[in-house]
């Protein structure tokens, strides 16, 4: 078998001098490529010492640190399946994913380890260990008794499972293979012209596709370097930007940067590329950024299941409001309501095919089958048109999805939680335009007397859901507007309350 293990590809791109830094953290600590190799080998050996074998899932719910990245690489090396979880998830959300994925080991930050232990006990996960934001904890403290298992992998072997919510509100685990990750990483590295001279300012979280795969793979496959911030903090980003050549973020990062009067062309003097994705970048932000800095932000489009699908060009016109053409190796088409393929210019559901497209949902062949056409294209659920010149423009979503600050929120999941609260008859959750988060989660509630206070609804949601899913406003109505079929008219609610967060 040819070894298609992604770590092998990464190792083949190490710089000639492996003591060169690959990561510089916020404290100025430098980690060389040889440190990354040594630490990931140690973590892989530790997991093997705990009894993990190829294919075992390793759930990781930790704060961002260089060690969090080394743990991902350790999983690649051992053929283990990396399963990152957002640190914002609450006990019930984690429990569902642990029960579904059945990990052999869970590594958690001290802040969430109690919930992890409860979930692990219930679902037969044998080992729960800690990893702190400073790279310490019971996991790195273990001394391995086995050698590093550098396990050969087939291209189709699963490298990672990332949970992504469905319209029913139950998250599904998207299985990404070594081939998927390698193909997409290479497509991005070449399309965005990464070289060993690049310095990427990394401020994204590393439990989702954007920060973990898009950003890190460009660097790891080109011998470049990262300035590694624990999170997006405007002050820190401003301080580090002058030393960076590339920055990646969700649109909220760009609107926040623009809100600072001291963010100027000088701040970005050394930057060759700004990339935006995960949510729509408004043409206003694109234009304001260009005016302030002279840079046209490069917008790209992707999803957890597919990695990146399309990108505006590195060289050539970047069109505000469009997401560019398919990346090398990716094909796209648009289908009508009956499944027929539509001509250029017509709006329909975007479908994708290529080596980037995932292997299916973990233990959900039914859901996997639903999301693919009979001829093997993945149905994204995004509404788009493809113009004559092949440029893709997203015009909306067929799915009932809210994207808040780059995080996906499925209304059904929030509604189900709110509907359980005493006094609530029914709730409807919608996304409304928000100056900072792009869209904000809002609950429209029909209640019986005595109605709960808005703050009570938010508190209740906070107890059960990650904070970014908690409504930023709760509005009460006598009755929810319905159509002749009895279905709540969300469009009408979105129109009526469109100015809720107008500044």
**In this structure, are strands 225-228 and 199-202 parallel, antiparallel, or unpaired?**
parallel
With a CB cutoff of 8 Å and minimum separation 6, the contacts of 316 are none
**Residue of 407, 418, 442, 465 that binds ligand MLC (CB under 6 A):** 407
Do 187 and 329 form a contact (C-beta atoms < 8 A)? yes
What is the C-alpha to C-alpha distance for residues 373 and 380, in angstroms, rounded to an integer?
Answer: 11
Nearer to ligand AMP among residue 9 and residue 246 (C-beta): 246
Residue-wise burial string across 415-443, b where 16 or more C-beta atoms lie within 10 A, e elsewhere: bbbbeebeebeebbbbbbbbeebbbbbbb
Q: If binding is defined by CB under 6 A, does position 82 make contact with ligand MLC? A: no
Site size for ligand MLC (CB under 6 A): 21
Nearer to ligand MLC among residue 52 and residue 402 (C-beta): 402
**Residue of 135, 166, 171, 280 that binds ligand AMP (CB under 6 A):** 280
**Residue of 137, 405, 431, 471 that binds ligand MLC (CB under 6 A):** 405
For 260, how many CA atoms within 13 A lie in the half-sphere containing its CB? 18
Q: In a 10 Å sphere around its CB, with 0-12 CB exposed, 13-18 middle and 19+ buried, how is residue 33 labelled?
A: buried
The 283-302 site mask, x for binding ligand AMP (CB under 6 A), equals ----------------x-xx
φ, ψ at 196 (rounded to 5°) = -65, -15
Q: Which of residues 206-225 bind ligand MLC (CB under 6 A)?
A: 208-211
Q: If binding is defined by CB under 6 A, does position 381 make contact with ligand MLC? A: no
Q: If binding is defined by CB under 6 A, does position 476 make contact with ligand MLC? A: no
Secondary structure percentages of the chain, helix, strand, coil, to 5: 30, 25, 40
Q: Quick one: tokens of 198?
A: 């690049």
Q: If binding is defined by CB under 6 A, does position 41 make contact with ligand AMP? A: no
Q: If binding is defined by CB under 6 A, does position 137 make contact with ligand MLC? A: no
Q: If binding is defined by CB under 6 A, does position 35 make contact with ligand AMP? A: no
What is the C-alpha to C-alpha distance for residues 377 and 305, in angstroms, rounded to an integer?
Answer: 12
The 179-208 site mask, x for binding ligand MLC (CB under 6 A), equals -------------------------xx--x
Residue 193's SS3 state is coil
- Of 152, 190, 144, the C-alpha closest to 39 is 144
Q: If binding is defined by CB under 6 A, does position 441 make contact with ligand AMP? A: no
Nearer to ligand MLC among residue 45 and residue 303 (C-beta): 303
Q: If binding is defined by CB under 6 A, does position 188 make contact with ligand AMP? A: no
**Site residues (CB under 6 A) for ligand MLC?**
204-205, 208-211, 232, 250, 252, 277-278, 302-304, 404-407, 437, 467-468
**Site residues (CB under 6 A) for ligand AMP?**
164, 209, 277-280, 299, 301-304, 323, 380, 382, 394, 397, 403, 408
């Amino acid at each position: 078998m040819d070894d298609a293990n992604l770590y092998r590809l990464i190792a083949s791109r190490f710089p000639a001098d492996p003591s060169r830094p690959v990561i510089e953290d916020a404290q100025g600590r430098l980690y060389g490529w040889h440190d990354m190799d040594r630490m990931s080998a140690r973590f892989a050996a530790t997991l093997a010492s705990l009894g993990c074998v190829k294919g075992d899932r390793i759930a990781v719910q930790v704060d961002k640190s260089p060690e969090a990245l080394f743990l991902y690489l350790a999983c690649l090396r051992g053929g283990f399946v990396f399963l990152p979880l957002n640190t914002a998830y609450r006990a019930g959300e984690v429990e569902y994913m642990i029960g579904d994925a059945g990990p052999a080991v869970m590594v958690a930050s001290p802040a969430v380890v109690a919930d992890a232990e409860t979930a692990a006990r219930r679902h037969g996960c044998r080992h729960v260990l800690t990893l702190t934001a400073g790279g310490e904890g019971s996991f790195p403290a273990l001394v391995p008794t086995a050698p590093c298992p550098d396990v050969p992998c087939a291209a189709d072997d699963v490298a990672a499972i990332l949970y992504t919510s469905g319209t029913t509100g139950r998250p599904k685990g998207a299985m990404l293979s070594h081939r998927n990750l390698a193909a997409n990483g290479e497509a991005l590295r070449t399309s965005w012209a990464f070289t060993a001279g690049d310095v990427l300012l990394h401020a994204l979280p590393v439990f989702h596709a954007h920060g973990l795969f898009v950003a890190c793979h460009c660097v790891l496959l080109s011998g470049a370097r990262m300035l590694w911030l624990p999170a997006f903090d405007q002050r820190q980003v401003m301080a580090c930007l002058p030393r960076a050549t590339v920055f990646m973020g969700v649109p909220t990062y760009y609107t926040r940067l623009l809100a600072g009067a001291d963010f100027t062309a000088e701040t970005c003097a050394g930057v060759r590329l700004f990339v935006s994705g995960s949510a729509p970048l408004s043409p206003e932000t694109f234009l304001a950024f260009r005016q302030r800095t002279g840079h046209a932000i490069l917008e790209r489009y992707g999803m957890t299941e597919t990695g990146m699908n399309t990108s505006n060009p590195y060289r050539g016109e970047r069109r505000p409001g469009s997401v560019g053409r398919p990346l090398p190796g990716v094909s796209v088409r648009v289908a009508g309501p009956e499944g027929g393929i539509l001509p250029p210019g017509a709006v329909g559901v975007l479908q994708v095919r290529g080596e980037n497209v995932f292997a299916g949902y973990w233990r959900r062949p039914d859901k996997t089958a639903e999301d693919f056409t009979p001829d093997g294209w993945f149905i994204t659920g995004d509404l788009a048109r493809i113009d004559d010149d092949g440029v893709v423009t997203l015009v909306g979503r067929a799915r009932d999805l809210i994207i808040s600050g780059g995080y996906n929120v499925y209304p059904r999941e929030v509604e189900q939680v709110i509907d359980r609260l005493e006094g609530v008859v029914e709730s409807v959750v919608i996304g409304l335009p928000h100056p900072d988060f792009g869209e904000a989660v809002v609950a429209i509630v029909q209640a019986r007397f005595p109605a709960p206070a808005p703050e009570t609804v938010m508190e209740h949601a906070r107890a059960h859901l990650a904070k970014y899913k908690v409504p930023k406003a709760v509005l009460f109505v006598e009755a929810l507007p319905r159509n002749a079929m009895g279905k709540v008219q969300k469009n009408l609610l979105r129109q009526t309350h469109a100015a809720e967060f107008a500044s």
